[in-house]
Amino acid sequence: MCGRYVLVQKVEVIERRFNVDANNNFQWNANYNISPGTYAPVITSDKPKELQLMQFGLTPFWAKKRMFLFNARAEGDRNKENNPNYRESKGIITKPAFRKPIRSQRCLVIADAFIEGSNLEGLKNPYLIYLKDKKRPFAFAGIYDVWLDPKNGEELESFSIITTTSNELLQKIPHDRSPVILPREKESQWLNDKTPLTEITKMMYPYNSKLMNAYQISPKISSSRNNYKELINPLSKPLTDDDNLNVNKSLQLQGMGARKKYL
Say which of 75, 107, 116, 157 is annotated catalytic: 116
2 is catalytic: yes
259 Cβ contact list (under 8 Å, min separation 6): 10, 11, 12, 22, 26, 27, 28
Say which of 2, 107, 157, 187 is annotated catalytic: 2
* Identity at 62, one-letter amino acid code: W
Half-sphere exposure of 169 toward its Cβ, with a 13 Å CA cutoff?
Answer: 25
116 is catalytic: yes
Which phi and psi angles does 162 have, rounded to 5°? -80, 135
Calculate Rg over the CA atoms of the chain. 17
Q: Which residues are catalytic?
A: 2, 116
